[in-house]
């Protein structure tokens, strides 16, 4: 017991140190002011009524009201389910029955992962169907039920693979280093997050989308020239077949180094070229600042701290008793039955870190907006693009303060439009007039 107590103390100290390091890094590197300086006449305040018609505001509010029930019920019921399975004997009994006839330890773990993730997926499936119905009713989804079902199964399969890899590696380390497996797991978690970030554009994106090169023409040439002018090396410009799922507009810069490419939704190609350039300029801002790499490294550091906390959870006598993991049985059976406790701890940590992630993300997105304005020097097109994005994507134009803190990874449409006008005042560029004076 003394050895376990020392290991738990060391894990706690390491977790505190790692999270403190993450906090310091975020505090010092997050762009808290995307537009430094006070412009003549002061900063423009966001006002949805200046640019969005009463019909657009009403439709945004109605869509938000229709989407909130399935989203919140999915969150609450899903969280309750994973906590019940992880913090009561029900999860251990369920996994014990699922793995009772499996002899080998790795197979027991795989069966436990597949059984648990499938059960939780099935619990959330009715709310996903409800959400898809809302998206169809408002014209955002273009999928058939068959293609939607295929995407659901693909997501479930990826969940199986991800969790199987994590669980097998984690419990392999626990067998080799019973007291201090968290040290190797923390380093492994850091490496895994970095590897997934690099592999995602090459392995995961093609599972859900088909990409084709943007045909030679003025738009392709202008986008590549803009990237070159911005000092961002880009290998190619691709078009994603997003229209088979959605009517939303989007673009992004994917990959690192020699794999970096501009990806444009085929739905966006219907917009005027200047608007396409405006949104791509925003994405180039992320690439120029290496925001994905920065987020990956900070996330990896946070993951290392989370692994230390997972060790504290999985070795806590009180939590193990509550989860029904103190009964007699071989080590392989105990490992398989503790998967529910592991997943519950991960879900709680993810939910707790969500508001911090949203806060930092909003600041980084605002900096990318400022970059796009500086690169194009065209705030009028930026405003028209943000209006189109907000209307087409059914963005929440008047977000609830709690929702804003918890979920908004980007500034709201009115905030982004107000920033463009503030930028124009700061740089002596004609300020875009209100669309609805």
* Listed residue (412, 392, 388) closest to 139, CA to CA: 392
**369 an active-site residue?**
yes
**Given the DSSP bridges, would you call strands 261-265 and 236-240 parallel, antiparallel or unpaired?**
parallel
Contacting residues for 238 by C-beta, under 8 A, at least 6 apart: 211, 212, 213, 214, 261, 262, 263, 264
Helix, strand, coil % over all residues of the chain, rounded to 5:
70, 5, 25
Residue of 102, 125, 124 whose CA lies nearest to 113: 102
Task: Determine whether the annotation assigns residue 387 to a binding site.
Answer: no
Annotated binding residue at 357?
no
- Residues with Cβ within 8 Å of residue 217, at least 6 apart in sequence: none
Contact 283, 268 (CB under 8 A): no
Cβ-based neighbours of 95, under 8 Å, separated by 6 or more: 112, 115, 116, 336, 337, 339, 340
64: annotated active-site residue: no
191: tokens are 């490496």
Whether 365 has a binding-site annotation, put simply, is yes
Q: Where are the alpha helices (DSSP H) in 204-259?
A: 205-208, 218-229
Contact between 338 and 85 (Cβ < 8 Å): no
**H or E element, residue 80:** helix 54-87
- Residue 378: both structure tokens together: 């065209």
Residue 134 Cα to chain centre, angstroms: 22
Of 64, 74, 277, 283, which is the active-site residue?
Answer: 283
Active-site choice (230, 277, 335, 369): 369
Q: Which of 285, 276, 295 is nearest to 227 (CA)?
A: 285
Q: How far apart are CA 148 and CA 408, in angstroms?
A: 25
And the tokens for 14?
């390491």
Beta bridge partners of 212: 239
Is 422 within 8 Å of 47 (Cβ atoms)?
no
Look up residue 74 and give its two tokens: 């999915």
Buried/exposed 83-104: b ≥16 CB within 10 Å, e otherwise: bebbbebebbebbbebbeebee
Nearest to 277 by CA among 393, 376, 144, 418: 376
* Binding site feature residues for Zn(2+): 282, 286, 365
As annotated, the active-site residues are 283, 369
* Binding site feature residues: 282, 286, 365
């Amino acid at each position: 017991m003394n050895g376990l107590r020392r290991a738990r103390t060391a894990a706690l100290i390491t977790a505190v140190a790692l999270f403190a390091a993450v906090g310091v890094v975020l505090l010092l590197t997050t762009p808290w002011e995307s537009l430094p300086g006070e412009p003549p006449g002061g900063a423009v305040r966001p006002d949805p009524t200046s640019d969005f018609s009463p019909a657009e505001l009403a439709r945004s509010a109605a869509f938000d009201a229709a989407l909130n029930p399935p989203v919140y019920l999915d969150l609450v019921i899903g969280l309750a389910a994973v906590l019940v399975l992880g913090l009561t004997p029900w999860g251990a009994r369920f996994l014990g029955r699922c793995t009772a006839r499996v002899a080998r330890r790795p197979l027991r773990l795989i069966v436990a992962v597949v059984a648990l993730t499938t059960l939780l997926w099935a619990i959330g499936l009715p709310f996903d169907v409800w959400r898809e119905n809302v998206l169809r009713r408002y014209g955002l989804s273009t999928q058939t039920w068959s293609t939607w079902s295929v995407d659901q199964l693909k997501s479930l399969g990826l969940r199986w693979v991800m969790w199987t890899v994590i669980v097998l590696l984690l419990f392999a380390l626990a067998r080799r280093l019973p007291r201090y497996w968290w040290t190797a797991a923390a380093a492994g978690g850091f490496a895994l997050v970095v590897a997934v970030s690099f592999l995602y554009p090459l392995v995961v994106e093609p599972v859900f989308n088909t990409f084709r090169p943007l045909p030679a023409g003025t738009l392709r040439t202008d986008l590549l020239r803009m990237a070159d002018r911005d000092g961002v090396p880009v290998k190619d410009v691709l078009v994603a077949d997003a229209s088979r799922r959605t009517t939303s507009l989007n673009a992004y810069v994917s990959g690192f180094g020699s794999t970096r490419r501009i990806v444009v939704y085929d739905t966006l190609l219907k917009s005027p070229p200047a608007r396409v350039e405006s949104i791509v300029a925003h994405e180039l801002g992320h690439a120029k600042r290496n925001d994905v790499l920065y987020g990956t490294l900070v996330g990896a550091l946070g993951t290392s701290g989370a692994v230390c906390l997972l060790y504290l959870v999985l070795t806590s006598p009180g939590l193990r008793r509550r989860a029904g993991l103190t009964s007699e049985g071989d080590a392989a059976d105990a490992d398989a039955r503790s998967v529910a406790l592991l997943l519950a701890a991960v879900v709680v940590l993810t939910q707790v870190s969500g508001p911090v992630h949203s806060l930092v993300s909003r600041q980084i997105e605002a900096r990318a907006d400022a970059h796009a304005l500086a690169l194009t020097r065209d705030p009028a097109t930026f405003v028209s693009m943000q209006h189109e994005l907000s209307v087409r994507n059914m963005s929440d134009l008047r977000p609830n303060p709690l929702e804003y803190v918890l979920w908004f990874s980007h500034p709201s449409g009115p905030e982004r439009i107000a920033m463009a006008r503030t930028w124009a005042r700061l740089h002596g560029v004609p300020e875009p007039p209100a669309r609805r004076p």
